[in-house]
Amino acid sequence: MPQNAQSFFNRHRETLEKAVAAIDSREYWTPYPESLKQYPEDAVKAAPQRFEALLRQPFALRKATAVAGQVGAEVSPYGFELGITYDQPEPAALIETMQAAMPAWRDAGAEARVGVCLEILARLNAMSPEIAQAVMHTSGQAPMMAFQAGGPHAQDRGLEAVAYAWQAMSRVPASAQWVKPQGKHDPLVLDKRYHIVPRGLSLVVACSTFPTWNTYPGLFASLATGNPVILKPHPGAILPVAMTARVAQEVLEEAGFDPCLVSLVPDTPEAPVAKTLALDPAVRLIDFTGSSAFGEWLECNATQAQVFTEKAGINSVIIDSVDSLKPVAQNLAFTLSLYAGQMCTTTQAIYVPRGGIETADGRLSFDEVAGALARAVEKFLADNDRACAVLGAIQSLATVERIAQCRALGEVLLDSEAREHPQFPRARVHTPLLLKVDADQKAAYSEERFGPISFIVATDDTRHSIALAREVIAEEGAITLGAYTTDEVVAAQFEELAMDIATPLSLNLDGGVFVNQSAAYSDFHATGGNPAATAALCDQAFVARRFVVVQSRRHGQAS
Amino acid sequence: MPQNAQSFFNRHRETLEKAVAAIDSREYWTPYPESLKQYPEDAVKAAPQRFEALLRQPFALRKATAVAGQVGAEVSPYGFELGITYDQPEPAALIETMQAAMPAWRDAGAEARVGVCLEILARLNAMSPEIAQAVMHTSGQAPMMAFQAGGPHAQDRGLEAVAYAWQAMSRVPASAQWVKPQGKHDPLVLDKRYHIVPRGLSLVVACSTFPTWNTYPGLFASLATGNPVILKPHPGAILPVAMTARVAQEVLEEAGFDPCLVSLVPDTPEAPVAKTLALDPAVRLIDFTGSSAFGEWLECNATQAQVFTEKAGINSVIIDSVDSLKPVAQNLAFTLSLYAGQMCTTTQAIYVPRGGIETADGRLSFDEVAGALARAVEKFLADNDRACAVLGAIQSLATVERIAQCRALGEVLLDSEAREHPQFPRARVHTPLLLKVDADQKAAYSEERFGPISFIVATDDTRHSIALAREVIAEEGAITLGAYTTDEVVAAQFEELAMDIATPLSLNLDGGVFVNQSAAYSDFHATGGNPAATAALCDQAFVARRFVVVQSRRHGQAS
């Protein structure tokens, strides 16, 4: 093993062991602090200037092969052009070069590869404040979220993938002696060796809203198991992925490997390259986060590859009964407001019985429940500075347009407002739109309306709510399911529903945890068991499919 | 958990633990003896009569749902009609019933399901002599192979799958408490539960040559992880699968589960049902052994399912140099003769340098090597009784016809002969056809010629042999690769080749182990990494994709 790779592994071995313990126990743990206070003050202060210094010029990565051209037209959702350009490698030459680099990476073994991955993650962690700037000004996330979700939480998901990969690879012994008794005769003896062999090139197609959080699991799961990785960022969020690629290339080179093992292939909306790359016979793994249409296209067409997709879904909350509505409404107000509903985990459909719900303070009508939710959002976002710090900016113009288009889909309980950002006057800041619909207006709420658009759906009763959620999620999928009840019998029905539609359940959240948050090492993000996703972040299936075991055997002498 | 399921689990717990230890250490181990002497003498003696008693009448299984009709026209390759008929369930009704039975099986938990699986395997083991009769008279395997491969070795592969499933499910804790510090404030506390949730219905499409060995891994991996299993046997080899289903249904019923959780759906060559079943949205897992054409059709079309296929390939041996040719030729003669080349692991292409090879006794010409191989087969099969006990009978008429068709593909080194079976005069017994071709006659040897048909391919040198094997296997796949060399530098090249084409390597076998044999718990059968198969028997990926994890979480109190 190259010297540096071994020293990287030794340096991070304890972190690795703790991560493996955490994915087994599912208890709280993280090596990457989520408080800015725990990062060097200088790094935090310098981050905006460091980001500024990247603008209006080319962003350089290692030039492995011929360059097809320059791309890059990122515009911050906060209202300015980044002006950064990136080399677009010529795909065929790049693929050939990456394939040539694969055997050395494979033969280096699991310790070397995992050591390199852990060092990349450590360096990414150290530059979290700077990455936060890049995430903020591509995704539109607010500063705190861009830091936490784009930095330490994304690194957590990357480390989690490395831990799963290490665990899976460690289960396969490097060698074994097989001694089969033959009665009175000498036993049959075979000396066997077992090699972890990568599937081939890995393509990670990143999204514009979580360019690091949704990219790191596939990147690190593939890289740790020996597969070279092509990062194909969303044209609107290239920079955070490019910064990641640069760190990966630095570490790979220091460890004596070809830096092309992690390569960036940016493109433009006018000339997308993802389909061409996805169908290349050399590409054997594809991770994708984004639209259902493209995800399903990959699943049906890239049959030469193992395909891991996270797509759209109808995240749902069912309200049966509550102790006190106020903390529930506050909890849901946060969920609906955070990043203006642009999380893949944000609730879209809230099922409430038409006849109202029981609370500890007596029965509340449907309109009282709906009104309390609308008022809670209103109040939560009343202070404009706080609102902007929660909502962030809308990543895509299409999402802004969708808000207007959806107004007519139901009765407006709370209208979406445009807000002026205190610091960035041209930022696209919009508050949630909350609509009231009847259960039979299924077309309205059973199609994903990406962005700050949610529906309170009036149902016959909780049984009806469960039936509707079951039907809609079976057809369209979901990544999150919330539910509220004071009745353990009903709680058991929710648990059964969650299993039947393979969606993680958050029950009675009314404190400082939200249905749209998911913690690495403990929460499985998505399940892979409903139409919203073919994979969970992160489970055994997420890594086990990325390598095969190739053995050799020859006659041996019994030892 | 139902009482019986718990007692089954307790009864077999030690076996399970030993199996888990074996798949981790890859050392020799088995709980199922492969010597008939270790089975009750009565059972061994009674087996032929018990088989006879099944003939010329309906074979009854539990009637879960409406019956569409009767099928069954099995003909023993030893020359007589079985005359057994089987109910063919009406597919839609069966699927609905199986889906309804799934939640109870899922909710019973891993111990209950694994207990049932282990009891099924134990009962199958006890009836191995009888199953051997069914395997013999459907596949055409000779009695000893039908017993070993159809009985204990098949059960080993089933138990191996259960061990992998148990290991994967055991990694997921039933519950966890997540306590996240909040500085001076109280920590956030969540109580979490994790459920193993099956993907859905599992379809196992069995083959005619190894109706139990190739069926048990998928059956038991799916069943242990909670998925109801539809067994779709080959129309020519229904009985061994039906006997298996009957045992599974008995045990399921005793444990308090719906016996339809393992259901048989037999069909006919005229009205096949596999495609219809494979595209049913309820079917989420498919295991298939058979032709590349149908396997690839499944991979491309059954995109709603996880598809595990084992298809055709060009199994290869490369001869570079040997100490002594005689034991090598004897070893290969056994490989080519066993079950008349109808194993998915039988060598088809043997690459030998045109200029001959080095041995400890000096250089041998290509013709000397080829001649030694041909003579070794001839000698091994000279005694007709022994020949018949090794060759068995040819399962399908198409294979007999293929022997004749292939004679013109090269220069005949050893012609295939029809033999008369001492006990079954109408048995289809045929010895291997061995052809000499030049490397440039690629069309001849690079297409699978299923049956006792092999090619000795004259190459420029070992480097050329390696290049050809690499090219052919990259395109067509392979399940086995053998190689012979006395030079460790060349051995390392073979090891590299094996990794590059993801094919298990057997090096310098010249004793009592053969390239076409694969031992459960130690040898990975296929890899899933080349076109011959998308799965290995058995590895982590084989089970991890059969279930998802669904969690629930709610606020808790720190304990």
- Is the confidence at residue A269, as pLDDT, over 90? yes
Q: For chain B, positions 356-415, list CB contacts with chain A under 8 A.
A: none
User: Where residue B395 falls among pLDDT bands split at 50, 70, 90?
Assistant: very high
Contact B178 A550 (CB under 8 A): no
**Percent of residues, chain B, with pLDDT higher than 70:** 100
Q: A4 pLDDT exceeds 90?
A: no
Tell me how close the Cα of B238 comes to any Cα of chain A, in angstroms.
31
Q: In this model, does residue B64 exceed pLDDT 80?
A: no
Of A160, A522, A537, which to mutate for an interface test with B (greatest number of B Cβ within 10 Å)?
Answer: A522
pLDDT reported for residue B1: 63
Helix (H, G, I), strand (E, B) or coil at B197: strand
Could A179 and B28 be called an inter-chain contact, meaning their C-beta atoms sit closer than 8 Å? Answer: yes
- Using the predicted structure, report yes or no on whether residue A10 has a pLDDT greater than 90: yes
Q: Which of A25, A548, A557 to mutate to test the interface with B (most CBs of B within 10 A)?
A: A548
The beta strand positions in A226-267, using DSSP E, are: 229-232, 262-264
Res. A44 pLDDT band, cuts 50 70 90: very high
Given an 8 Å threshold on Cβ–Cβ distance, is B540 in contact with A544?
Answer: yes
Average pLDDT score over chain A? 97
Both tokens of residue A249? 């290339």
- Binding-face residues of A in 469-528 toward B, CB within 8 A: 494-496, 498-500, 502-513, 519, 522-524, 527-528
Task: Please name the residues between 11 and 70 in chain B that touch chain A, using a CB distance below 8 Å.
Answer: 24-28
Q: What is the mean pLDDT of residues B314-324?
A: 98
Q: Per residue in A231-264, is it b (16+ CB within 10 Å) or e — as a string? A: bbbbbbbbbbbbbbbbbbbbbbebbebbbbbbbb
- A481: nearest CA partner in chain B: B552
CB contact under 8 A, B26 and A178: yes
Closest partner residue to B548 (CB to CB) among A26, A182, A527 is: A527
Could you report the per-residue pLDDT of A212-265, keeping only the tens digit for each? 999 999 999 999 999 999 999 999 999 999 999 999 999 999 999 999 999 999
Alpha helices in A350-441 (DSSP H): 366-380, 384-391, 397-406
pTM check: above 0.95: yes
Banded model confidence at residue B2, pLDDT cuts 50, 70, 90: low
Per DSSP, the three-state class of A414 is strand
pLDDT at B128 exceeding the cut of 80: yes
Using alpha carbons, list the distances in angstroms from residue B25 to A98, A194, A544, B21: 34, 11, 18, 6
Is the predicted pLDDT of residue B250 greater than 80, yes or no?
A: yes
Per residue in A124-143, pLDDT (tens digit) is 999 999 999 999 999 999 99
Determine the pLDDT at residue A198: 98
Written in H, E and C, the secondary structure of B105-130 is HHHCHHHHHHHHHHHHHHHHHHCHHH
Helix or strand run (H / E) with residue A289 = strand A283-289
- Where does the pLDDT of residue B3 fall: very low under 50, low under 70, confident under 90, or very high at 90 and above? confident
Cα–Cα distance measured from residue A20 to residue B383, given in angstroms and rounded to the nearest whole number: 59
What's the pLDDT at B131?
98
Q: How far apart are CA B490 and CA B485, in angstroms?
A: 7
B549–chain A Cβ distance below 8 A for any pair: yes
pLDDT exceeds 90 at position A368: yes
Instruction: Provide long-range contacts, Cβ within 8 A and 24+ apart, for B44-49.
Output: B44/B129, B46/B129, B46/B130, B47/B129, B47/B130, B47/B132, B47/B133, B48/B133
Distance from CA of A444 to the nearest CA of B (A): 25
Nearest to A389 by CA among A136, A47, A43: A136
Q: Provide mean pLDDT across the span B511-540.
A: 96
Q: How far is it, in rounded angstroms, from Cα B195 to Cα B200? A: 15
pLDDT confidence bin for A532, thresholds 50/70/90: very high
In chain B, % helix, strand, coil (3-state, to 5) comes to 45, 20, 35
The pLDDT of A3-7, averaged and rounded, is 86
Q: Which two tokens stand for residue A309?
A: 């997709």
The Cα of A197 is separated from the nearest Cα of chain B by a number of Å equal to 6
**Does residue A276 have a pLDDT over 80?**
yes
Return residues 122-181 of B near A (CB < 8 Å): 168, 171, 173, 176-181
- Residue A19, pLDDT score: 98
Report the C-alpha gap between B540 and B225 in whole angstroms: 13
- Res A7 pLDDT > 80: yes
pLDDT at A64: 73
Taking residues B393-404, report their average pLDDT: 97
Model confidence pLDDT, tens digit, residues A78-92: 999 999 999 999 999
Q: Find the closest chain A residue to B511 by CA distance.
A: A555
Residue B434's CB: how many other CB atoms inside 10 A? Answer: 25
* B residues 519..538 contacting A (CB < 8 A): 519, 522-524, 527-529, 536
Is the CB of A540 less than 8 angstroms away from the CB of B168? yes
Report, as an integer, the average pLDDT of B378-405.
98
Please, which residues bridge with residue B461 across strands?
none
Quick check: B150 and B212 in contact, CB under 8 A?
A: yes
* Residue A1 pLDDT grade (very low, low, confident, very high; cuts 50, 70, 90): low
Extended strands (E) in A493-546: 505-507
Out of A300, A498, A513, whose CB is closest to B190? Answer: A513
